[in-house]
Structure 1
């Protein structure tokens, strides 16, 4: 349980809320319908949790920031549907043909139930091999060995394995809300910024801010005068999928099979979001319900800092993290409409004990 604020501080917040018509999250578990939440530097201390952990939705919570997708926010996001175009964001399960990081490729076969009468599919799928949601069991806060909400490795595998923070909790809640796309790759082409999505390239907060500005979006949270709403779902296009389709199958395979080791010398190298304080503040303080990109790692890989964004996004904050989404058609549609927000829905796999899931995501305009 978190340390309570002193009585005078809580009373002052209540008075401010009355005057501003806000509802501030002051006690744990937080009420998802609050209109104001603590910024990263003001997170409450939680005994037994790592520093900067936002395990604030209750001891048994398994959905983290998805709590922000309340009925009122989903209903408001529904107003983004105006013309009705549907834009899926899923790569084929067969893409990439050779997955990175030593993962197994998708395998599909047909089971004959009755010749010329009935057939079944048989799948063999590593959920991290293509378009994916990284679940809360996927990546820990490394120094403490804790996954989100104090989940441990022994909760995931072994004789005491259970369903704590399993992906099925996401499936039972559902994912639907307002999506926001930052087309950094399109912005880079426009501005003559050249980089290889298959190499380490950190996209800074300042670059993302300028990208948003070019699109007509202030990427700061609404509480700071920006255009990001609590519960928005963020998408960042870095250009990996675009580059994937420009390579030959042999080139793709060679890049995917680059040696993988922990640390800066990792042969697996990709463009992505920079590891920096301004990015951490921004990703946290906007209170995105989820974030996603088109690259294999979302963050610039390998990290050149002593931490990974995965640690913060997944383990400390409980924010679903999507990777290798196909944002090509989405970016084209947004550009044609000069609209960078849309309704988004996804259906994670309902697998009790599961780690991650195919995204099964769709944008609707």
Structure 2
């Protein structure tokens, strides 16, 4: 972008005081509507992105459909084949179901509903270790919804609170590392039955304050399995097209819902608009 005039050098605009920047950003006979946001050029944004050093995978995030594959076929949602070569092609963002496509339809904006299992458990004398692999099924989710007076609607974004992020925030870095490396985490039951329930409720997306939405480790026929065998990740992300959100901080939302006795709200979420994005911080707000 050409250099901009200093304040005192801005060209005069008839009828306006000195220092009016009208017309400065006009181009090709089109009146500008962005103002100084025009200064966020591709080069400026690229330089800003170079400042990023932290690993977003270890914080609040959305997982997109190319984050996890259907193991028998190696394919992602709707038959996409997200190979390294596929991501390296110039048109990869046009052919793969990556996060940047959300921006084409206003990102994530819709009805949210909180299932506050932590408060429900405390009220009903249910104790659980958040780092033990404790899991709840559709029956428990329905019970909490009934206790809160919640009726699920088509298009709801389901948020489930277990209190994991609250516990992690009280730990030292070493304590957090140990908890995360344990491979055990409370969450939703990872099963075909749970996948069926989530689909039949027609949720638009599912998120939680734990690491993977579903409990870890996966368990088949009573036997613990490695993390890469996560059941809901295969069902939701690859087969059903349901986005999953991990490690969302739901404490303040739970307090607001409890105080207002309202567990439904508007959710807005604007992930990174980065071509080919596999995951992103959610940048989410719940508005009651």
TM-score, with structure 2 as normaliser: 0.74
Partner of 1:153, secondary structure, is coil
Find the partner of 2:120 among 187, 192, 208: 187
2:201 corresponds to 1:286: yes
Q: How does 1:295-310 map to 2 (within 5 A)?
A: 295-305=210-220, 308-310=231-233
Find the partner of 1:166 among 91, 95, 98: 98
Partner of 1:236, secondary structure, is strand
Q: How does 1:7-156 map to 2 (within 5 A)?
A: 122-154=51-83, 156=86
8 Å CA contact 1:187, 1:211 repeated in 2:
yes
The structure with more radius of gyration: 2
4+ aligned runs moved over 3 Å, structure 1: 155-161
Cα distance in 2, alignment partners of residues 160 and 144 from structure 1: 25
Find the partner of 2:257 among 329, 334, 342: 334
8 Å CA contact 1:128, 1:134 repeated in 2:
no
Aligned to 1:25: none
Post-superposition Cα deviations, 1:158-207, rounded to whole Å, max 9, x if no partner, equal 56871211211012221101100000111111111111112211112111
2:166 corresponds to 1:231: no
Find the partner of 2:279 among 321, 346, 356: 356
- Structure 2 residues not aligned, in runs of 5+: 1-46, 221-228
Find the partner of 1:320 among 243, 252, 255: 243
8 Å CA contact 1:181, 1:331 repeated in 2:
yes
8 Å CA contact 2:60, 2:246 repeated in 1:
yes
Aligned to 1:204: 137
8 Å CA contact 1:176, 1:344 repeated in 2:
yes
Cα 1:353–1:209, aligned 2, differ >3 Å: closer, same or farther? same
Partner of 1:212, secondary structure, is helix
Cα distance in 2, alignment partners of residues 162 and 276 from structure 1: 32
TM-score, with structure 1 as normaliser: 0.59
Post-superposition Cα deviations, 1:49-74, rounded to whole Å, max 9, x if no partner, equal xxxxxxxxxxxxxxxxxxxxxxxxxx
Partner of 2:219, secondary structure, is coil
Aligned to 1:252: 176
Aligned to 1:91: none
Cα distance in 2, alignment partners of residues 321 and 211 from structure 1: 20
Cα 1:156–1:182, aligned 2, differ >3 Å: closer, same or farther? farther
Aligned to 1:17: none
**CA RMSD between the two structures:** 2.2
Give the paired residue count. Answer: 230
Cα distance in 2, alignment partners of residues 363 and 307 from structure 1: 28
Aligned to 2:186: 271
> Which has the larger helix fraction?
2
